[in-house]
A and B are shown apart, each in its own frame.
Chain A
Amino acid sequence: DTAVSQTPKYLVTQMGNDKSIKCEQNLGHDTMYWYKQDSKKFLKIMFSYNNKELIINETVPNRFSPKSPDKAHLNLHINSLELGDSAVYFCASSQASTKQFFGPGTRLTVL
């Protein structure tokens, strides 16, 4: 029983393309997050939704757009991909501001 799942696990694409990463949690949590982990393994928050409402929107290029169709899903759409977007993207969820549960990550490679 996967608690937080992400698809795809790997994504290889060309510069300029548009791509989406999907995230789903079956924990009944009300808050979901997107994190970016760069090549130096440093984690940084990108977005967070609480009950489908955007509550954290860090300094992220507006080519990145999160979408939360319901409390269990938070998708990340990226337009006009650039080389610097290559990273591992992690989705996570929590009940309010308690302990967070992480997805397995999506490794994005932009060529």
Chain B
Amino acid sequence: KNEVEQSPQNLTAQEGEFITINCSYSVGISALHWLQQHPGGGIVSLFMLSSGKKKHGRLIATINIQEKHSSLHITASHPRDSAVYICAVRSSGGSNYKLTFGKGTLLTVNP
């Protein structure tokens, strides 16, 4: 079982819908990252968080350390949000630099 589990694996939505992608992890962490990988392959870091909630434009990331769970929300989704969204965690033990990745959630937003 992977240390980082994401759900759903695939998600299709209509433009304008509210999107939620979930990430659960099984280890103690010092930080959690949300990444976006576009169809062209480029990877962009969206958020790094260790508690609470962060917001950037239409994107919101939350984390519950006690429940070992994070969510990424997209409000008013748009076709340009179509991408793979990847959750990654930095363990609190071992190397402080190592990220362990989930398998990603493929989001398709239809016009």
Contacts and interface: CB of A to CB of B under 8 A. Distances in A.
B84 to A, nearest CB: 6
Interface residues of A, number: 26
A74 B3 CA distance: 28
B86 A43 contact: yes
Contacts of A55: 95, 97
A45 B41 CA distance: 17
A90 interface: yes
Nearest to A101: B45
Contacts of B35: 102
A41 B35 CA distance: 13
A92 B97 CA distance: 12
Interface in A1-43: 31, 33, 40-43
Nearest to B95: A56
A101 B95 CA distance: 19
Given A48-B97, A56-B97, A97-B96, A41 B84 contact: yes
A100 interface: yes
B42 A104 contact: yes
Given A98-B48, A105-B42, A43 B97 contact: no
Interface stretch (B11-19, B20-28, B59-67, B98-106): B98-106
B98 A56 contact: yes
A100 B99 contact: yes
17 contacts: A33-B97, A41-B37, A41-B103, A41-B104, A42-B104, A43-B86, A43-B101, A48-B98, A55-B95, A55-B97, A96-B97, A97-B90, A99-B48, A100-B33, A102-B42, A102-B43, A105-B43
Given A45-B98, A92-B43, A105-B42, 5 more contacts: A40-B103, A41-B84, A41-B104, A101-B45, A102-B45
